[in-house]
Amino acid sequence: MNTATQTLTLHEGFFSRRRPLDWVFALLVAAGGLYAFGRYAAHMDVYEKGILLASIPAAIWLGWFWRPLQLLMVVVAGLSLLGIGSYQGSLARADEVFWLKYFLSSQSAILWMSMLFFMSTAFYWIGMVGRSQSGTMERIGSRLAWAAVTLALVGTMVRWWESYLIGPDVGHIPVSNLYEVFVMFCWMTALFYLYFEQQYGTRALGAFVMLVVSAAVGFLLWYTVVREAHEIQPLVPALKSWWMKLHVPANFIGYGTFALSAMVAFAYLIKQQAGETRWWKLAPLWLLGVVLCFEPMVFRRSQEAGGSYWVVYFGIAALIVAGILWGRQRIAQRLPALEVLDDVMYKSIAVGFAFFTIATVLGALWAAEAWGGYWSWDPKETWALIVWLNYAAWLHMRLMKGLRGTLSAWWALVGLAVTTFAFLGVNMFLSGLHSYGEL
């Protein structure tokens, strides 16, 4: 390539790089958004109208920024509309219509999501420890992860519609309780990972990242059975706000990317210490066991949670740790370079910190509207501040002091423990203004 061609490529305009399908996608998004605005604007306040209109260029930009999202959005929209249309205004049809009963009702789609995430994790690990170098297993794992994300989003969209079928005063965006936000955590974490998978041209990290997604799915299934959390309930007064549509998704971009960075950090430590034989130097392997077993150890306080489910969960987690310990040298050979792992870890935390900061500011504004004050040192708020300070310090040390390597990886792993307590532990052990999220 000559200098003139290089200059032209570097200065090529953003819009001139758009392909015909990019413009078709933009027209579809604009048409869909404007149709929704025209049909439902009468039922929205001015803020909700603003959110809807702002989501149109945001969705177009995301599809242009990362083209696989275009197909994802179109498929999710098509399947969601098929599911919504199949109801014909009656929730009773969920048990009568084949597509709804087995695939496209919210509960069916989310159950498929759960199974596909488990399968994706299994295929990623088969590819990781297997002898084949073709990458077929990892490729299947990646496609299963895409399918799981698709069905998670379809389940979310259809659940949103189902809430309005119950009653206009019940209808709400499905991000209001632990069941709904765990679904969001699963697909959001997986989607961010799939982006990094494509950008760095490696599927090796899927085995690690999908472990934390599968752990979340395990909790989700337990929570569904024990609490019947899949049942749609009316919102408590504090949640009847348009702020929820912004605060909660921004928060879970942070949670998802922080979890992703921790699993990448774990992979970093595995690769770094692959040849280590002294047991006290293999602490990261045992740390994964602590993370995976966190739920059964904590939920033993609940009589309902003390049954065989958590025993099986604990056993599977222990087998996973033993398998990683046994195959650490082979696993390390399949992982990308330490520099790549460090870069993914940094970018995940940077993105998560930005959105978590936005979520914290939005939460303060929401609190002022709901409770009359921006900050009340509620346990949830306090631990959100601890999470924010932890990652702010991590980024400061990296950007100002050049933090890299083992210390940064360990710090990211500790960050996952802090974030997990802020996410779940506060709901379980502490009370406060956020008590509507108790387990």
pLDDT reported for residue 284: 55
Assess whether 177 and 282 both reside in one domain.
no
Asked whether residue 251 is assigned to any structural domain, the reply reads no
pLDDT reported for residue 7: 46
Asked whether residue 43 is assigned to any structural domain, the reply reads no
pLDDT reported for residue 115: 97
Distance of alpha carbon 17 from alpha carbon 65, whole angstroms: 11
Assess whether 412 and 316 both reside in one domain.
no
Residue 398 CB contacts under 8 Å (≥ 6 apart), including other chains? 346, 404, 408
Contact 324, 269 (CB under 8 A): no
Asked whether residue 249 is assigned to any structural domain, the reply reads no
DSSP string, 375-393: ----HHHHHHHHHHHHHHH
pLDDT reported for residue 303: 44
Assess whether 327 and 370 both reside in one domain.
no
Assess whether 328 and 341 both reside in one domain.
no
Q: Choose among 59, 293, 105, 261: nearest CA to 269.
A: 261
Asked whether residue 229 is assigned to any structural domain, the reply reads yes
Asked whether residue 344 is assigned to any structural domain, the reply reads yes
Q: Choose among 260, 249, 272: nearest CA to 329.
A: 272
Contact 77, 32 (CB under 8 A): yes
User: 204 is in which domain, residue-wise?
Assistant: 89-240
**Which residue among 263, 298, 332 closes a domain?**
332
pLDDT reported for residue 256: 95
Assess whether 328 and 186 both reside in one domain.
no
**Which residue among 240, 265, 298 closes a domain?**
240
Assess whether 346 and 323 both reside in one domain.
no
Assess whether 343 and 369 both reside in one domain.
yes
Assess whether 95 and 210 both reside in one domain.
yes
pLDDT reported for residue 320: 80
Distance of alpha carbon 104 from alpha carbon 119, whole angstroms: 20
Assess whether 283 and 356 both reside in one domain.
no
Contact 170, 232 (CB under 8 A): yes
Handedness of CA 17, 22, 24, 27 (dihedral sign): negative
Asked whether residue 151 is assigned to any structural domain, the reply reads yes
pLDDT reported for residue 302: 47
Residue 83 CB contacts under 8 Å (≥ 6 apart), including other chains? 99, 100, 104, 105, 109, 154, 157, 158, 161
Asked whether residue 321 is assigned to any structural domain, the reply reads yes
Asked whether residue 119 is assigned to any structural domain, the reply reads yes
pLDDT reported for residue 8: 44
Assess whether 346 and 304 both reside in one domain.
no
Specify the number of domains making up the chain. Answer: 3
Assess whether 199 and 313 both reside in one domain.
no
Mean pLDDT, each 10-residue run in order, the chain (439 residues):
47 76 96 93 87 94 96 97 92 89 94 97 92 86 98 96 90 90 96 96 94 92 83 84 89 95 92 71 59 52 55 74 78 92 96 96 87 82 93 96 90 90 76 56
Assess whether 345 and 315 both reside in one domain.
no
Compute φ and ψ for 59, nearest 5 degrees.
-65, -40
